[in-house]
Structure 1
Amino acid sequence: MRHDEERPRSSRFVAEAAVPGHWTQVLAEMRANVFTHLTLEEVRAEAVHVLVVAPSPDVARACFGELLEGFTSRSDERADVEAAGSVAGADADVPSVEVIGLEELVPARVPAGTWVFLPHRQDGWTELEEASERLRRALVKENSDREADERLTLIEFGINMWLWAEPPSSGGDPVCHAGELISWESAWALGPADGCDPGAAGDSASARPPIYFGLPPVLRKRRWDG
């Protein structure tokens, strides 16, 4: 979906396009696999801060609704406990989720331990690709200048990937699109709300839960140990 004549269709994706049925199955399989799946609880435990870089609020809501609701829920729980005069049983440091625009990110100001979710660099909109590539270069440089324990975790998410990528069941390993190779070895999915059946339909607050590329440390260690 990266040809110019296709962009109007891909631009309507967030508001109108349905997720193809075969991708629903791919997502369910990834969520059922310990090597390609993280829960909201695990993200809360591992990420000091979560930064979602999105081209519009609509994209953030469509792709990260589950993440945003999950973190808001945890923050609300902590506020209720604190209001009762006790923090026993509550997380001392609840990581927050921040959504910012493509031009707002200043790499040097991103706190250590932050998970940064960037739009995929080959996702279908020229302006988006250029901005995301520029941001990624800046973040990689920033990481190289930091001590190991001060570094960021960079993850890309595919806004339009549902429309063009070949899933593993169709030979899409690695995914090849417009001359770019994306290895499924670095792909993972955030699980549905805690306690829900990972294969159930309509279990996510996200209209189109993205598949992420770029392993956070917890998943990388899990795969190494496994």
Structure 2
Amino acid sequence: MRHDEERPRTSEFLAGGTAPGHWTQVLGSMRANPFTHLSLDEVRAEAAHLLIVTPSPEVARACFGEMLDAFGDSVEIAAVDELVPKHVPAGTWVFLPHRQDGWTELEDASTKVRAASVKENSSREAGSKLVLMEYGINLWMWAEPPSSGGDPVCHAGELISWESAWALGAEAGCGTCSADGLGDAHSGDVPTEDSTTPEPSPPTASARPPIYFGLPPILRQRRWDG
């Protein structure tokens, strides 16, 4: 596993980077395991509201393409510095940038937002609490997969491990998903010799492996029962 001082540091979104190929296998195995997989229908049934906290729409699209395509305008997107936890509706699933992602400034901002959200949760009744999860932005460029004993986070007083990770499953018959489950994040129409160059199609799936850290209640209960 990597400790704080070992992870790469950056001040930007590594938009041009390609996630290493081994994450395809990691995501596939998670989607095949009922303890690390939720379908879109299960998310619809369980989440009162969906909120993605992100530094930019570009990041939201790269990391949440499937979810945005499936839920459309029902997914709320908020800037990191705009989130006010006390205004977030009860039962909302809040996706925060990973606090050990490698994007230094964003890590600090996300840590503060999470701390404020945890404090807000402590004052809410059980049925009104927020469900807090984290997602990787640049994480996939450097994190070690669980198959090699890797863990993306190890820092003072807290370990966010693969034991708390899960993936959103592709629906059967999804026309935007490739066989590896990642989708074709950068594809557009390919012009023929006699055609004019069309406008690029917008991404229809996540460019980054959509793996989340922090179990929603349905998965926690499933693991307890299992």
TM-score range, shorter chain: 0.7 to 0.9
**Structure 2 length-normalised TM:** 0.80
1:75-94 residue pairs with structure 2 within 5 A?
A: none
Match for residue 219 of structure 1?
219
- Asked whether the 8 Å contact 2:23–2:209 carries over to 1, the reply is no
Partner amino acid for 1:188? W
- Asked whether the 8 Å contact 2:51–2:95 carries over to 1, the reply is yes
Distance change in 2, residues 1:26/1:198 (3 Å)? farther
Match for residue 76 of structure 2?
98
Deviations 1:171-207 (A, max 9, x none): 12x4455666322110001112444488535536111
- Asked whether the 8 Å contact 1:66–1:193 carries over to 2, the reply is no
- Asked whether the 8 Å contact 2:103–2:138 carries over to 1, the reply is no
Task: Compare the two structures and name the one with the higher helix fraction.
Answer: 1
**Partners of 1:209 and 1:3 in 2: CA distance:** 19
**Partners of 1:97 and 1:176 in 2: CA distance:** 27
Which moves more between the two structures, 201-210 or 162-171? 201-210
Match for residue 110 of structure 1?
88
What is the CA RMSD across the aligned residues, in angstroms? 2.1
**Partners of 1:109 and 1:189 in 2: CA distance:** 27
1:212 partner SS? strand
1:115-134 residue pairs with structure 2 within 5 A?
A: 115-134=93-112
Partner amino acid for 1:30? M
Match for residue 82 of structure 1?
none
**Partners of 1:34 and 1:133 in 2: CA distance:** 30
**Structure 1 length-normalised TM:** 0.80
Unaligned 5+ residue runs, structure 1?
Answer: 76-95
**Partners of 1:128 and 1:161 in 2: CA distance:** 12
- Asked whether the 8 Å contact 1:50–1:115 carries over to 2, the reply is yes
Partner amino acid for 1:213? F
2:61 partner SS? helix
Partner amino acid for 1:68? L
1:181 partner SS? coil
Distance change in 2, residues 1:198/1:145 (3 Å)? farther
Partner amino acid for 1:215? L
Aligned equivalent of 1:200, options 177, 180, 203: 180
**Partners of 1:201 and 1:111 in 2: CA distance:** 31
1:34 partner SS? coil
Unaligned 5+ residue runs, structure 2?
Answer: 1-5, 184-203
- Asked whether the 8 Å contact 1:31–1:198 carries over to 2, the reply is no
**Partners of 1:201 and 1:187 in 2: CA distance:** 17
Q: Calculate percent identity across the aligned residue pairs.
A: 66
**Partners of 1:2 and 1:183 in 2: CA distance:** 15
- Asked whether the 8 Å contact 1:2–1:125 carries over to 2, the reply is no
Equivalent residue pairs, number: 198
